[in-house]
Structure 1
Amino acid sequence: MSFTGKTAVVTGAAGGMGLNIAQDLAKQGAYVVLIDIKESAIDLTQTKQGTTYFAKGDVTDSAFVQGVMGDVFKKTGRLDYLVNAAGVLWFDKDKSTEQTDLDSWDRIMEINLKSMVITCRHALPLMRKTGSGSMVHVASIQAMRGDDKPQVAYQASKAAIISLSKTVAMEGAADGIRSNSILPGPTLSPMQDRWVHDPSIQRSTESVIPLGRAGTTQDMSNATLFLLSDNASYITGTELIVDGGLLARP
Protein backbone atom coordinates (compact mmCIF):
# COMPACT_ATOMS: atom_id res chain seq x y z
CA MET A 1 0.00 0.00 0.00
CA SER A 2 1.28 3.43 -0.90
CA PHE A 3 -0.17 6.74 0.22
CA THR A 4 2.44 8.92 -1.43
CA GLY A 5 1.10 12.30 -2.51
CA LYS A 6 -2.16 11.86 -0.62
CA THR A 7 -3.59 13.98 2.20
CA ALA A 8 -5.17 12.63 5.38
CA VAL A 9 -6.87 14.04 8.47
CA VAL A 10 -6.87 11.91 11.63
CA THR A 11 -8.80 12.89 14.77
CA GLY A 12 -7.98 11.68 18.26
CA ALA A 13 -4.38 11.54 17.10
CA ALA A 14 -2.44 12.65 20.18
CA GLY A 15 -1.98 9.03 21.25
CA GLY A 16 -3.24 5.47 20.98
CA MET A 17 -4.88 4.23 17.79
CA GLY A 18 -5.14 7.66 16.21
CA LEU A 19 -1.45 8.41 16.61
CA ASN A 20 -0.43 4.96 15.35
CA ILE A 21 -2.64 5.37 12.28
CA ALA A 22 -1.34 8.87 11.58
CA GLN A 23 2.29 7.76 11.88
CA ASP A 24 1.76 4.81 9.57
CA LEU A 25 0.09 7.00 6.95
CA ALA A 26 2.99 9.44 7.13
CA LYS A 27 5.52 6.62 6.84
CA GLN A 28 3.69 5.53 3.69
CA GLY A 29 4.17 8.99 2.20
CA ALA A 30 0.96 10.85 3.07
CA TYR A 31 0.68 14.41 4.33
CA VAL A 32 -1.17 13.93 7.63
CA VAL A 33 -2.97 16.44 9.81
CA LEU A 34 -3.42 15.17 13.35
CA ILE A 35 -6.23 16.70 15.40
CA ASP A 36 -6.61 16.39 19.16
CA ILE A 37 -7.51 18.51 22.15
CA LYS A 38 -4.44 17.12 23.95
CA GLU A 39 -0.79 17.58 23.08
CA SER A 40 0.82 14.86 20.98
CA ALA A 41 2.40 12.02 22.96
CA ILE A 42 5.50 12.06 20.73
CA ASP A 43 7.76 14.44 18.86
CA LEU A 44 6.19 14.42 15.40
CA THR A 45 9.30 15.91 13.82
CA GLN A 46 10.84 12.44 14.09
CA THR A 47 8.27 10.96 11.67
CA LYS A 48 10.03 9.92 8.48
CA GLN A 49 8.91 10.17 4.85
CA GLY A 50 5.54 11.98 4.74
CA THR A 51 4.85 15.25 6.51
CA THR A 52 2.75 15.71 9.62
CA TYR A 53 1.05 18.73 11.11
CA PHE A 54 -0.61 18.83 14.54
CA ALA A 55 -3.73 20.94 15.02
CA LYS A 56 -4.73 21.30 18.65
CA GLY A 57 -8.43 21.85 19.21
CA ASP A 58 -11.85 20.44 20.00
CA VAL A 59 -13.32 18.08 17.38
CA THR A 60 -16.81 19.05 18.52
CA ASP A 61 -16.14 22.64 17.38
CA SER A 62 -17.42 22.78 13.81
CA ALA A 63 -15.72 26.07 12.94
CA PHE A 64 -12.35 24.75 14.17
CA VAL A 65 -12.65 21.52 12.16
CA GLN A 66 -13.79 23.37 9.05
CA GLY A 67 -10.82 25.72 9.38
CA VAL A 68 -8.30 22.91 9.74
CA MET A 69 -9.68 21.03 6.75
CA GLY A 70 -9.87 24.18 4.66
CA ASP A 71 -6.25 25.01 5.47
CA VAL A 72 -4.95 21.56 4.57
CA PHE A 73 -6.91 21.62 1.31
CA LYS A 74 -5.40 24.99 0.42
CA LYS A 75 -1.93 23.69 1.26
CA THR A 76 -2.07 20.37 -0.62
CA GLY A 77 -4.95 20.87 -3.06
CA ARG A 78 -6.69 17.69 -1.96
CA LEU A 79 -8.24 15.66 0.86
CA ASP A 80 -8.05 11.91 0.31
CA TYR A 81 -8.56 10.32 3.72
CA LEU A 82 -10.42 10.93 6.96
CA VAL A 83 -9.99 8.79 10.06
CA ASN A 84 -12.30 9.42 13.01
CA ALA A 85 -10.43 7.98 15.98
CA ALA A 86 -11.48 10.57 18.57
CA GLY A 87 -13.34 9.01 21.47
CA VAL A 88 -13.63 8.74 25.23
CA LEU A 89 -14.44 5.90 27.61
CA TRP A 90 -15.24 7.19 31.09
CA PHE A 91 -15.60 4.25 33.47
CA ASP A 92 -16.26 6.49 36.47
CA LYS A 93 -19.15 8.46 34.95
CA ASP A 94 -20.58 6.25 32.21
CA LYS A 95 -22.19 3.21 33.80
CA SER A 96 -25.54 1.48 33.61
CA THR A 97 -28.75 2.96 32.23
CA GLU A 98 -29.88 3.82 35.74
CA GLN A 99 -26.53 5.06 36.99
CA THR A 100 -24.88 6.91 34.13
CA ASP A 101 -24.36 10.63 34.62
CA LEU A 102 -26.57 12.36 32.05
CA ASP A 103 -24.30 15.37 31.62
CA SER A 104 -21.49 12.94 30.89
CA TRP A 105 -23.80 11.11 28.45
CA ASP A 106 -24.21 14.35 26.48
CA ARG A 107 -20.48 15.06 26.38
CA ILE A 108 -19.60 11.49 25.40
CA MET A 109 -22.09 11.69 22.54
CA GLU A 110 -20.54 14.97 21.45
CA ILE A 111 -16.99 13.66 21.44
CA ASN A 112 -17.65 10.17 20.07
CA LEU A 113 -20.49 10.86 17.63
CA LYS A 114 -21.13 14.55 16.95
CA SER A 115 -17.46 14.98 16.06
CA MET A 116 -17.95 12.42 13.29
CA VAL A 117 -20.92 14.34 11.87
CA ILE A 118 -18.80 17.48 11.91
CA THR A 119 -15.72 15.98 10.26
CA CYS A 120 -17.73 14.17 7.60
CA ARG A 121 -19.82 17.18 6.66
CA HIS A 122 -16.67 19.24 6.10
CA ALA A 123 -14.66 16.45 4.45
CA LEU A 124 -17.25 15.36 1.89
CA PRO A 125 -17.19 18.52 -0.27
CA LEU A 126 -13.38 18.58 -0.25
CA MET A 127 -13.20 14.92 -1.24
CA ARG A 128 -15.63 15.62 -4.07
CA LYS A 129 -13.27 18.32 -5.31
CA THR A 130 -10.38 15.85 -4.99
CA GLY A 131 -12.29 13.34 -7.10
CA SER A 132 -12.47 10.49 -4.58
CA GLY A 133 -11.88 9.75 -0.93
CA SER A 134 -11.95 7.16 1.81
CA MET A 135 -13.03 7.37 5.45
CA VAL A 136 -12.60 5.00 8.37
CA HIS A 137 -14.42 5.53 11.64
CA VAL A 138 -13.41 3.78 14.87
CA ALA A 139 -16.41 2.08 16.48
CA SER A 140 -16.16 -0.90 18.87
CA ILE A 141 -17.34 -4.47 19.24
CA GLN A 142 -19.30 -3.12 22.22
CA ALA A 143 -21.68 -1.68 19.62
CA MET A 144 -22.71 -5.23 18.74
CA ARG A 145 -23.57 -6.60 22.17
CA GLY A 146 -24.79 -5.83 25.66
CA ASP A 147 -22.60 -5.91 28.72
CA ASP A 148 -23.15 -6.84 32.36
CA LYS A 149 -20.78 -3.99 33.23
CA PRO A 150 -21.93 -1.46 30.66
CA GLN A 151 -20.81 1.98 29.64
CA VAL A 152 -24.11 2.84 28.01
CA ALA A 153 -23.18 6.16 26.40
CA TYR A 154 -19.98 4.74 24.97
CA GLN A 155 -21.73 1.69 23.55
CA ALA A 156 -24.63 3.67 22.11
CA SER A 157 -22.30 6.20 20.49
CA LYS A 158 -20.23 3.45 18.90
CA ALA A 159 -23.35 1.76 17.52
CA ALA A 160 -24.42 5.08 16.02
CA ILE A 161 -21.01 5.45 14.36
CA ILE A 162 -21.66 2.24 12.42
CA SER A 163 -25.04 3.49 11.24
CA LEU A 164 -23.75 6.94 10.30
CA SER A 165 -20.83 5.42 8.41
CA LYS A 166 -23.27 3.48 6.22
CA THR A 167 -25.24 6.64 5.48
CA VAL A 168 -22.09 8.56 4.59
CA ALA A 169 -21.11 5.68 2.30
CA MET A 170 -24.37 6.09 0.40
CA GLU A 171 -23.98 9.86 0.26
CA GLY A 172 -20.47 9.66 -1.15
CA ALA A 173 -20.66 6.62 -3.43
CA ALA A 174 -21.54 8.48 -6.62
CA ASP A 175 -18.41 10.59 -6.18
CA GLY A 176 -16.11 7.66 -5.44
CA ILE A 177 -16.01 8.38 -1.71
CA ARG A 178 -15.98 5.33 0.55
CA SER A 179 -16.89 5.11 4.23
CA ASN A 180 -16.26 2.13 6.50
CA SER A 181 -15.82 1.49 10.20
CA ILE A 182 -13.56 -0.77 12.22
CA LEU A 183 -14.76 -2.51 15.38
CA PRO A 184 -11.79 -3.01 17.72
CA GLY A 185 -11.95 -5.56 20.48
CA PRO A 186 -10.01 -5.12 23.74
CA THR A 187 -6.90 -3.16 22.80
CA LEU A 188 -3.70 -2.18 24.57
CA SER A 189 -3.92 1.61 24.42
CA PRO A 190 -4.08 4.62 26.76
CA MET A 191 -7.86 4.16 26.90
CA GLN A 192 -7.24 0.95 28.83
CA ASP A 193 -4.68 2.34 31.27
CA ARG A 194 -6.54 0.53 34.07
CA TRP A 195 -4.73 -2.60 32.83
CA VAL A 196 -1.43 -0.98 33.81
CA HIS A 197 -2.66 -0.48 37.36
CA ASP A 198 -4.30 -3.91 37.58
CA PRO A 199 -2.80 -6.44 35.12
CA SER A 200 -5.23 -9.09 36.36
CA ILE A 201 -8.02 -7.28 34.47
CA GLN A 202 -6.04 -7.63 31.24
CA ARG A 203 -5.31 -11.31 31.88
CA SER A 204 -8.97 -11.97 32.61
CA THR A 205 -9.99 -10.23 29.40
CA GLU A 206 -7.42 -12.06 27.28
CA SER A 207 -8.52 -15.43 28.67
CA VAL A 208 -11.76 -15.25 26.68
CA ILE A 209 -10.24 -13.99 23.41
CA PRO A 210 -9.80 -16.94 21.00
CA LEU A 211 -6.43 -15.68 19.75
CA GLY A 212 -5.30 -15.40 23.35
CA ARG A 213 -4.19 -11.78 23.48
CA ALA A 214 -5.49 -8.24 23.48
CA GLY A 215 -5.18 -6.26 20.29
CA THR A 216 -2.59 -3.55 19.75
CA THR A 217 -2.88 -0.13 18.20
CA GLN A 218 -0.78 -1.53 15.34
CA ASP A 219 -3.46 -4.16 14.68
CA MET A 220 -6.03 -1.36 14.39
CA SER A 221 -3.76 0.73 12.20
CA ASN A 222 -3.20 -2.20 9.84
CA ALA A 223 -6.95 -2.67 9.43
CA THR A 224 -7.53 1.05 8.96
CA LEU A 225 -4.85 1.50 6.30
CA PHE A 226 -6.23 -1.47 4.39
CA LEU A 227 -9.72 0.05 4.30
CA LEU A 228 -8.35 3.44 3.30
CA SER A 229 -6.21 2.00 0.53
CA ASP A 230 -7.00 1.17 -3.07
CA ASN A 231 -6.79 -2.51 -2.07
CA ALA A 232 -10.25 -1.95 -0.56
CA SER A 233 -11.60 0.05 -3.50
CA TYR A 234 -14.76 -2.10 -3.73
CA ILE A 235 -15.50 -2.00 -0.01
CA THR A 236 -17.82 0.65 1.39
CA GLY A 237 -20.66 0.92 3.86
CA THR A 238 -19.46 -1.98 5.98
CA GLU A 239 -17.51 -2.70 9.14
CA LEU A 240 -14.37 -4.71 9.82
CA ILE A 241 -14.25 -6.53 13.17
CA VAL A 242 -10.74 -6.61 14.64
CA ASP A 243 -11.15 -8.49 17.91
CA GLY A 244 -9.11 -11.70 17.91
CA GLY A 245 -12.26 -13.73 17.36
CA LEU A 246 -14.12 -12.49 20.45
CA LEU A 247 -17.45 -11.89 18.72
CA ALA A 248 -17.25 -15.31 17.07
CA ARG A 249 -17.53 -17.06 20.42
CA PRO A 250 -20.79 -18.92 20.99
Structure 2
Amino acid sequence: MAIDFTGRIALVTGSSGGIGRACALMLAKAGAKVAVNGLTSMVQAEEVAEEIRRAGGEAAVFQADVTKPDQIEAMIEGIRERLGGSVDILVNNAGHLIKRVPNAEMTEEHYTRVMDVNLKSTAFVTKAVLAGMKAKGGGRIINMTSVAAHNGGGAGAALYAAGKAAVIAYSKGLAKEVAGDGITVNCVSPGFIGNTAFHSTFTPDAARQATINGIPLGREGHPDDVAGAVVYLASDLASYLTGETIEVNGGMFMR
Protein backbone atom coordinates (compact mmCIF):
# COMPACT_ATOMS: atom_id res chain seq x y z
CA MET A 1 0.00 0.00 0.00
CA ALA A 2 1.55 3.29 -1.10
CA ILE A 3 1.38 6.28 1.21
CA ASP A 4 -0.20 9.19 -0.64
CA PHE A 5 -0.90 12.56 0.99
CA THR A 6 -2.01 14.28 -2.20
CA GLY A 7 -4.51 17.01 -1.35
CA ARG A 8 -3.48 17.13 2.31
CA ILE A 9 -1.77 20.00 4.09
CA ALA A 10 0.94 19.31 6.66
CA LEU A 11 2.36 21.73 9.20
CA VAL A 12 5.72 20.85 10.75
CA THR A 13 6.80 23.21 13.51
CA GLY A 14 10.50 23.85 13.89
CA SER A 15 11.21 22.47 10.44
CA SER A 16 14.18 24.56 9.33
CA GLY A 17 16.63 21.79 10.18
CA GLY A 18 17.25 18.41 11.77
CA ILE A 19 14.29 16.15 12.47
CA GLY A 20 11.74 18.79 11.46
CA ARG A 21 13.40 19.27 8.09
CA ALA A 22 13.43 15.53 7.47
CA CYS A 23 9.74 15.29 8.35
CA ALA A 24 8.83 18.16 6.03
CA LEU A 25 10.76 16.67 3.12
CA MET A 26 9.38 13.15 3.59
CA LEU A 27 5.78 14.35 3.93
CA ALA A 28 6.22 16.41 0.76
CA LYS A 29 7.70 13.42 -1.08
CA ALA A 30 4.48 11.55 -0.25
CA GLY A 31 2.44 14.34 -1.81
CA ALA A 32 1.54 16.68 1.04
CA LYS A 33 1.59 20.44 0.74
CA VAL A 34 3.94 21.49 3.54
CA ALA A 35 3.96 24.53 5.81
CA VAL A 36 7.57 24.99 6.92
CA ASN A 37 7.84 26.81 10.23
CA GLY A 38 10.82 28.55 11.75
CA LEU A 39 11.61 31.40 14.10
CA THR A 40 15.26 32.45 13.76
CA SER A 41 16.69 30.14 11.07
CA MET A 42 14.59 31.51 8.24
CA VAL A 43 17.24 31.16 5.55
CA GLN A 44 17.35 27.44 6.31
CA ALA A 45 13.54 27.28 6.35
CA GLU A 46 13.43 28.81 2.88
CA GLU A 47 15.99 26.25 1.73
CA VAL A 48 13.74 23.42 2.95
CA ALA A 49 10.78 24.88 1.06
CA GLU A 50 12.86 25.37 -2.07
CA GLU A 51 14.06 21.76 -1.93
CA ILE A 52 10.43 20.65 -1.82
CA ARG A 53 9.55 22.87 -4.79
CA ARG A 54 12.50 21.64 -6.86
CA ALA A 55 11.21 18.10 -6.35
CA GLY A 56 7.81 19.13 -7.70
CA GLY A 57 6.04 19.68 -4.39
CA GLU A 58 4.33 22.66 -2.84
CA ALA A 59 5.58 24.44 0.28
CA ALA A 60 5.27 27.77 2.03
CA VAL A 61 7.39 29.22 4.84
CA PHE A 62 5.92 30.74 7.99
CA GLN A 63 7.92 32.60 10.60
CA ALA A 64 6.18 32.22 13.96
CA ASP A 65 7.08 31.82 17.61
CA VAL A 66 4.99 28.76 18.48
CA THR A 67 4.98 29.70 22.17
CA LYS A 68 2.88 32.78 21.28
CA PRO A 69 -0.83 32.06 20.58
CA ASP A 70 -1.31 35.20 18.50
CA GLN A 71 1.56 34.25 16.18
CA ILE A 72 0.25 30.70 15.95
CA GLU A 73 -3.19 31.93 14.88
CA ALA A 74 -1.63 34.21 12.28
CA MET A 75 0.36 31.27 10.90
CA ILE A 76 -2.73 29.05 10.66
CA GLU A 77 -4.60 31.79 8.79
CA GLY A 78 -1.60 32.21 6.50
CA ILE A 79 -1.63 28.48 5.75
CA ARG A 80 -5.29 28.70 4.72
CA GLU A 81 -4.50 31.58 2.38
CA ARG A 82 -1.26 30.31 0.85
CA LEU A 83 -1.80 26.55 0.77
CA GLY A 84 -5.53 26.59 0.17
CA GLY A 85 -7.05 25.07 3.25
CA SER A 86 -6.76 23.94 6.84
CA VAL A 87 -4.14 21.63 8.30
CA ASP A 88 -4.71 17.87 7.89
CA ILE A 89 -1.42 16.70 9.41
CA LEU A 90 0.24 18.46 12.33
CA VAL A 91 3.73 17.55 13.46
CA ASN A 92 4.54 19.35 16.71
CA ASN A 93 8.29 19.10 16.34
CA ALA A 94 9.39 22.39 17.94
CA GLY A 95 11.20 21.80 21.21
CA HIS A 96 14.47 22.60 22.93
CA LEU A 97 16.64 21.74 25.92
CA ILE A 98 17.63 25.45 26.00
CA LYS A 99 20.71 24.62 28.10
CA ARG A 100 21.82 22.14 30.72
CA VAL A 101 20.96 23.52 34.16
CA PRO A 102 21.21 21.62 37.48
CA ASN A 103 18.05 21.99 39.53
CA ALA A 104 19.98 23.80 42.28
CA GLU A 105 20.75 26.53 39.73
CA MET A 106 17.34 26.64 38.02
CA THR A 107 15.63 29.98 37.58
CA GLU A 108 11.97 30.71 36.96
CA GLU A 109 12.91 32.16 33.58
CA HIS A 110 14.62 28.92 32.54
CA TYR A 111 11.68 26.84 33.76
CA THR A 112 9.23 28.95 31.74
CA ARG A 113 11.31 28.85 28.56
CA VAL A 114 11.73 25.07 28.67
CA MET A 115 8.07 24.32 29.41
CA ASP A 116 6.82 26.87 26.88
CA VAL A 117 8.82 25.59 23.92
CA ASN A 118 8.15 21.92 24.66
CA LEU A 119 4.65 21.72 26.14
CA LYS A 120 2.91 25.06 25.58
CA SER A 121 3.81 25.10 21.89
CA THR A 122 2.39 21.61 21.42
CA ALA A 123 -0.86 22.46 23.20
CA PHE A 124 -1.52 25.80 21.50
CA VAL A 125 -0.57 24.82 17.95
CA THR A 126 -2.83 21.80 18.40
CA LYS A 127 -5.65 24.01 19.64
CA ALA A 128 -5.29 26.20 16.55
CA VAL A 129 -5.73 23.33 14.07
CA LEU A 130 -8.49 21.36 15.78
CA ALA A 131 -11.45 23.26 14.34
CA GLY A 132 -10.23 22.72 10.79
CA MET A 133 -9.61 19.02 11.36
CA LYS A 134 -13.03 18.54 12.92
CA ALA A 135 -14.70 20.32 10.00
CA LYS A 136 -12.96 17.92 7.59
CA GLY A 137 -13.95 14.89 9.65
CA GLY A 138 -10.46 13.88 10.69
CA GLY A 139 -6.78 14.60 10.97
CA ARG A 140 -3.44 13.39 12.25
CA ILE A 141 -1.50 14.94 15.12
CA ILE A 142 2.03 13.72 15.83
CA ASN A 143 3.82 15.14 18.85
CA MET A 144 7.59 14.88 19.28
CA THR A 145 8.75 13.71 22.67
CA SER A 146 12.09 12.13 23.67
CA VAL A 147 13.68 9.12 25.31
CA ALA A 148 14.45 11.64 28.08
CA ALA A 149 10.75 11.50 28.98
CA HIS A 150 11.34 7.92 30.12
CA ASN A 151 14.81 8.04 31.65
CA GLY A 152 15.03 11.61 32.94
CA GLY A 153 17.59 12.77 30.39
CA GLY A 154 21.23 13.59 30.89
CA ALA A 155 22.88 15.96 33.34
CA GLY A 156 21.01 19.24 33.72
CA ALA A 157 18.07 18.08 31.59
CA ALA A 158 15.46 17.26 34.23
CA LEU A 159 13.11 20.06 33.16
CA TYR A 160 13.42 19.10 29.51
CA ALA A 161 12.64 15.50 30.41
CA ALA A 162 9.63 16.62 32.43
CA GLY A 163 8.36 18.74 29.55
CA LYS A 164 8.66 15.84 27.12
CA ALA A 165 6.94 13.48 29.58
CA ALA A 166 4.13 16.01 29.84
CA VAL A 167 3.78 15.91 26.05
CA ILE A 168 3.12 12.17 26.25
CA ALA A 169 0.48 12.58 28.96
CA TYR A 170 -1.13 15.46 27.08
CA SER A 171 -1.24 13.39 23.90
CA LYS A 172 -3.01 10.51 25.63
CA GLY A 173 -5.66 12.82 27.05
CA LEU A 174 -6.11 14.62 23.75
CA ALA A 175 -6.35 11.31 21.86
CA LYS A 176 -9.41 10.36 23.92
CA GLU A 177 -10.90 13.83 23.57
CA VAL A 178 -10.81 13.97 19.76
CA ALA A 179 -11.15 10.32 18.77
CA GLY A 180 -14.84 10.81 17.99
CA ASP A 181 -13.87 13.49 15.47
CA GLY A 182 -11.74 11.10 13.45
CA ILE A 183 -8.50 12.64 14.72
CA THR A 184 -5.63 10.47 15.92
CA VAL A 185 -2.94 11.73 18.29
CA ASN A 186 0.36 9.91 18.73
CA CYS A 187 3.92 10.61 19.80
CA VAL A 188 7.30 9.84 18.32
CA SER A 189 10.11 9.51 20.84
CA PRO A 190 13.61 9.85 19.31
CA GLY A 191 16.67 8.50 21.06
CA PHE A 192 20.18 9.54 20.06
CA ILE A 193 19.72 11.15 16.64
CA GLY A 194 22.78 12.50 14.87
CA ASN A 195 22.94 15.32 12.30
CA THR A 196 20.89 17.56 14.58
CA ALA A 197 21.72 20.84 16.30
CA PHE A 198 20.64 19.30 19.63
CA HIS A 199 23.56 16.90 20.01
CA SER A 200 25.98 19.16 18.16
CA THR A 201 25.28 21.75 20.86
CA PHE A 202 24.73 19.73 24.03
CA THR A 203 26.59 16.40 23.69
CA PRO A 204 30.41 16.20 23.90
CA ASP A 205 32.14 13.81 21.48
CA ALA A 206 33.14 11.37 24.23
CA ALA A 207 29.56 11.14 25.52
CA ARG A 208 28.31 10.73 21.95
CA GLN A 209 30.58 7.77 21.29
CA ALA A 210 29.77 6.17 24.64
CA THR A 211 26.07 6.42 23.84
CA ILE A 212 26.52 4.91 20.37
CA ASN A 213 28.49 2.02 21.89
CA GLY A 214 25.43 1.19 24.01
CA ILE A 215 22.92 1.17 21.14
CA PRO A 216 22.04 -2.42 20.11
CA LEU A 217 21.73 -1.50 16.41
CA GLY A 218 25.27 -0.12 16.58
CA ARG A 219 24.73 3.37 15.23
CA GLU A 220 23.24 6.72 16.05
CA GLY A 221 19.92 7.54 14.46
CA HIS A 222 19.35 9.78 11.45
CA PRO A 223 16.58 12.37 11.15
CA ASP A 224 15.05 10.24 8.37
CA ASP A 225 14.62 7.40 10.87
CA VAL A 226 12.32 9.65 12.88
CA ALA A 227 10.60 11.08 9.82
CA GLY A 228 9.68 7.57 8.68
CA ALA A 229 7.76 6.97 11.90
CA VAL A 230 6.04 10.35 11.53
CA VAL A 231 4.94 9.58 7.96
CA TYR A 232 3.58 6.21 9.06
CA LEU A 233 1.54 7.80 11.86
CA ALA A 234 0.22 10.43 9.45
CA SER A 235 -0.91 7.79 6.97
CA ASP A 236 -3.98 5.61 6.70
CA LEU A 237 -1.81 2.66 7.72
CA ALA A 238 -2.01 4.01 11.28
CA SER A 239 -5.73 4.81 11.24
CA TYR A 240 -6.42 2.53 14.24
CA LEU A 241 -3.48 3.75 16.31
CA THR A 242 -3.97 6.60 18.78
CA GLY A 243 -2.62 7.64 22.16
CA GLU A 244 0.60 5.72 21.55
CA THR A 245 4.30 6.50 21.49
CA ILE A 246 6.70 5.03 18.93
CA GLU A 247 10.26 4.74 20.24
CA VAL A 248 12.91 5.46 17.59
CA ASN A 249 16.18 4.72 19.34
CA GLY A 250 17.90 1.66 17.84
CA GLY A 251 17.04 -0.41 20.89
CA MET A 252 18.77 1.78 23.48
CA PHE A 253 15.48 2.00 25.39
CA MET A 254 12.84 -0.68 25.14
CA ARG A 255 9.40 -0.65 26.75
Tell me the secondary structure at the aligned position of residue 90 of structure 2: strand
Quote the residue 2:91 is aligned against. Answer: 83
- The Cα of 1:105 is off from its aligned counterpart by 1.3
Tell me the secondary structure at the aligned position of residue 50 of structure 1: coil
Runs (4 or more) in structure 1 with deviation over 4 Å come to: none
Tell me the secondary structure at the aligned position of residue 98 of structure 1: helix
How far apart, CA to CA, are the structure 1 residues paired with 2:226 and 2:253? Answer: 16
How far apart, CA to CA, are the structure 1 residues paired with 2:80 and 2:180? Answer: 21
Instruction: Provide structure 2 residue ranges, at least 5 long, that are not aligned to the other structure.
Output: none
Tell me the secondary structure at the aligned position of residue 6 of structure 2: coil
Quote the residue 2:31 is aligned against. Answer: 29
Tell me the secondary structure at the aligned position of residue 60 of structure 2: strand
Q: Deviation digits for residues 24-61 of structure 1, max 9, x if unmatched?
A: 11121111111121214262223223211110120011
- The Cα of 1:76 is off from its aligned counterpart by 2.0
| Matched ranges for 1:10-29 at <5 A | 10-29=12-31
Q: Which moved more, 1:183-192 or 1:95-104?
A: 95-104
Contact 2:153-2:161 within 8 A present in 1 as well: no
How far apart, CA to CA, are the structure 2 residues paired with 1:203 and 1:186? Answer: 11
How far apart, CA to CA, are the structure 1 residues paired with 2:135 and 2:43? Answer: 30
- The Cα of 1:147 is off from its aligned counterpart by 4.7
How far apart, CA to CA, are the structure 1 residues paired with 2:209 and 2:154? Answer: 18
| Matched ranges for 1:7-86 at <5 A | 7-38=9-40, 39-41=42-44, 43=47, 44-47=49-52, 48-74=55-81, 75-86=83-94
How far apart, CA to CA, are the structure 1 residues paired with 2:218 and 2:202? Answer: 16
Quote the residue 2:216 is aligned against. Answer: 210
Q: 1:116 to 1:147 in 2, by over 3 A?
A: closer
Q: 1:111 to 1:167 in 2, by over 3 A?
A: same
Q: Deviation digits for residues 205-250 of structure 1, max 9, x if unmatched?
A: 101111111111000000111011111000001111111111139x
TM-score normalised to the size of structure 1?
Answer: 0.92
- The Cα of 1:195 is off from its aligned counterpart by 7.6
How far apart, CA to CA, are the structure 2 residues paired with 1:21 and 1:148? Answer: 25
Please state if 1:132 is matched with 2:129: no
Q: Among the aligned pairs, what percent are the same residue?
A: 33
- The RMSD of aligned alpha carbons is 1.8
Quote the residue 2:249 is aligned against. Answer: 243
Q: 1:134 to 1:148 in 2, by over 3 A?
A: closer
Q: Which moved more, 1:38-47 or 1:133-142?
A: 38-47
Q: 1:201 to 1:236 in 2, by over 3 A?
A: same
Matched residue type, 1:219: D
Which one of 154, 161, 164 corresponds to residue 160 of structure 2? 154
How far apart, CA to CA, are the structure 2 residues paired with 1:147 and 1:170? Answer: 28
How far apart, CA to CA, are the structure 2 residues paired with 1:10 and 1:148? Answer: 26
Quote the residue 1:190 is aligned against. Answer: 197
Q: 1:101 to 1:129 in 2, by over 3 A?
A: same
Q: Which moved more, 1:64-73 or 1:174-183?
A: 64-73
Q: Deviation digits for residues 148-174 of structure 1, max 9, x if unmatched?
A: 624111101000000111111112100
Q: Which moved more, 1:64-73 or 1:226-235?
A: 64-73
Instruction: Provide structure 1 residue ranges, at least 5 long, that are not aligned to the other structure.
Output: none
How far apart, CA to CA, are the structure 2 residues paired with 1:162 and 1:138? Answer: 9
Contact 1:28-1:49 within 8 A present in 2 as well: no
Matched residue type, 1:234: Y
How far apart, CA to CA, are the structure 1 residues paired with 2:206 and 2:238? Answer: 38
- The Cα of 1:71 is off from its aligned counterpart by 2.9
Q: 1:244 to 1:131 in 2, by over 3 A?
A: same
- The Cα of 1:9 is off from its aligned counterpart by 0.8
Contact 1:166-1:238 within 8 A present in 2 as well: yes
Tell me the secondary structure at the aligned position of residue 105 of structure 2: coil
